[in-house]
Amino acid sequence: MALTPDDVARLAGLARIDLSDAELAHLAPQLDVILESVARVTEVAGADVPATSHALPLVNVFRPDEVTPSLPVDAVLAMAPAAEDNRFAVPRILGEEA
């Protein structure tokens, strides 16, 4: 099934992309090749091939959370340009409300 420029125009409309007639005519055969390639891959995958999302198995590489001592608040705020209520004071950037 070959894609027509009208098919591409419908897809472009759904994606809210404005394409000229020349672009539609140029993209139709290119998108058709992509669809044919995907169809060819689905023919190769048989029932004996398990569905996978990655070629290699993934392993969680996160380390476990461990509580460790941190710096005292006074030491952390000692070099801060501004501090207020044991916190860093920074300029407001989202407006003056609140």
Question: Where along the chain do its domains lie?
Answer: 5-44
CATH, domain 5-44, list 1.10.3470, 1.10.20, 2.30.30, 2.60.120? 1.10.20
What is the reported pLDDT for 93?
84
What is the reported pLDDT for 1?
65
Structure tokens at 45: 């995958």
Q: Whole-angstrom Cα distance, residue 19 to residue 10? A: 11
Q: How confident is the model at residue 53 (pLDDT cuts 50, 70, 90)?
A: confident
- Residue 75 CB-density burial (10 A; 0-12 exposed, 13-18 middle, 19+ buried): exposed
